[in-house]
Structure 1
């Protein structure tokens, strides 16, 4: 079985030395990759620049990822070749368009003026100004394209919320199943993730009434492996 795992977080460049990122460590992606490798499967791991990674080994292909665009291009190339996609990467929802100081802002702040006013990107933005204003644009939802690239792939997606009830978390997870056409969504709450302790729920469209509860990263990785082997054969 050939498996694609995305892990860690993206970093969206502001200039050549700065970027916007997140706190994702890639610990779960690393562990999931190790479970598949120990079971004898081939793994392609797309991981963020600072993500934890397994030791180099046979059957493991490591592909470093920076921004959303590089992730999109890599997944578009690899997804048609694999049997399973585990999309656990924390992908930036927004990316910088430009950053400027008050002096150089358009006189009228409207969507039209901001989207047409795009100064030439500097290699390194000056730090002389006391304040800077940054314009961000929404990034594409890459998971929505996975089934378009490979309708037969087994797709595991993730949904992370913070400080919600289990009922609310599961409701949003089922909505994401419908939006993404994923086979499974692993739903988790940031407040229930501490080290190896990681409360999460596995939901699926085909078995909507059955929710699998998992209490740590090892259980999550083992469950993903088990479901993959049940539904995909070498």
Structure 2
């Protein structure tokens, strides 16, 4: 499965770097070419000579090597491979990736690449469990970065727990998955995400607290199963995932237009938190106080019902239409009624009361409402929720 593939291997600093030597050997045994990048910290654990000898290739180390820039610039290097693998992926490298930093060759390549990325984290258990690291993990998963590990085990520091780099055979298996057609290969799926902004004047708008994280995770999970994803997003706090067709919109009307303009799809997932109302008398100029103490009178109109519109499309209707219901009370009852009212196949319902921390947070707790009944899912990360939903969609389209 790796035969004739080009693998860009970034070796981070850490005792687990010694495993990268075996990884190079085994990847080459499968007929792949390894292009190694060794960080300065990685050189403290493995030598450029050993890496080069095993890879039978030049080791790239310095962002500002003029000879390398003449032969193969860092932009070309970042895109010349079929897969980028980071092993070990240290806490520092993961933080740089999550924040978009580019202050050395490895981080610059990772920021510049449009190639799928797989990382094998390796760090002390407390570093892995630290809230900052977990926030970075959530961000990277939302960006479509693949993970293998970390495993539980005894570490070089003597502590035990999660943070140990995955074993080489497991990394090889994870690499192979990138080149296997997933259950959604050949399928097209539309996903909407994020809030909409309905303007009051050029500087003010009506919106909601949606971060777009769940929609991003769903699009990434569907992509990982092989789907061709059209991702229509409002102005979300979370960036869209890589490897999908992104259509950015502001208002509900623009979102409906983008959905209607999209090609025919097999499934549509409406995770966007679309504003129910828009301001009819929005101003082309900034509204100012006039000293009277009276607020401007705003007139509202209902926004188009995108979910109901698509559910009633007829021949163009996707085989599976999935809506979301963000509720604060009577969650299941309201979601069940919404599924019937909108004419969609499934509703993914959740409680977004402020005390749940779900809207704008990193976790979700949903109930899947279908024609046959309801299924409550336990609270889990939004990435895990997305993967579970993507698998269910794949089974429904099989």
Displacement, 1:222? Answer: 1.8
Task: Work out whether residues 234 and 255 of structure 2, in 8 Å CA contact, stay in contact via their aligned partners in 1.
Answer: no
Aligned residues: CA RMSD: 1.9
Aligned pairs (5 A) from 1:134-145: 134-145=298-309
Match of 2:320 among 150, 154, 160: 154
Higher strand share: 1
TM-score w.r.t. the length of structure 1 is: 0.80
Which structure is richer in relative contact order (CA contacts within 8 A, separation 6 or more)? Answer: 1
Structure 2 residue aligned with 1:124: 286
For 2:253 and 2:241, locate their aligned partners in 1 and report how far apart those are by CA, in whole Å.
Answer: 26
TM-score w.r.t. the length of structure 2 is: 0.48
For 1:153 and 1:147, locate their aligned partners in 2 and report how far apart those are by CA, in whole Å.
Answer: 10
Structure 1 residue aligned with 2:276: 93
The DSSP-based 3-state class of the residue aligned with 2:365 is strand
Task: Work out whether residues 7 and 51 of structure 1, in 8 Å CA contact, stay in contact via their aligned partners in 2.
Answer: no
Displacement, 1:55? Answer: 4.2
Any unmatched runs of 5+ in structure 2? Answer: 1-186
Any unmatched runs of 5+ in structure 1? Answer: 100-120
Structure 1 residue aligned with 2:394: 229
Displacement, 1:188? Answer: 0.6
The DSSP-based 3-state class of the residue aligned with 1:125 is coil
Give every structure 1 segment of 4 or more consecutive aligned residues whose post-TM-superposition deviation is greater than 4 Å. Answer: none
For 1:48 and 1:152, locate their aligned partners in 2 and report how far apart those are by CA, in whole Å.
Answer: 22
Task: Work out whether residues 193 and 199 of structure 1, in 8 Å CA contact, stay in contact via their aligned partners in 2.
Answer: no
Query: Could you say if the C-alpha distance between residues 94 and 85 of structure 1 is closer, same or farther in structure 2, counting changes exceeding 3 Å?
Result: same
> Larger radius of gyration, structure 1 or 2?
2
Aligned pairs (5 A) from 1:191-202: 191=353, 192-194=356-358, 195-202=361-368
Displacement, 1:155? Answer: 0.9
Q: Verify: 1:77 aligned to 2:261, yes or no.
A: yes
For 1:160 and 1:193, locate their aligned partners in 2 and report how far apart those are by CA, in whole Å.
Answer: 13
Query: Could you say if the C-alpha distance between residues 198 and 50 of structure 1 is closer, same or farther in structure 2, counting changes exceeding 3 Å?
Result: closer
Query: Could you say if the C-alpha distance between residues 171 and 89 of structure 1 is closer, same or farther in structure 2, counting changes exceeding 3 Å?
Result: same
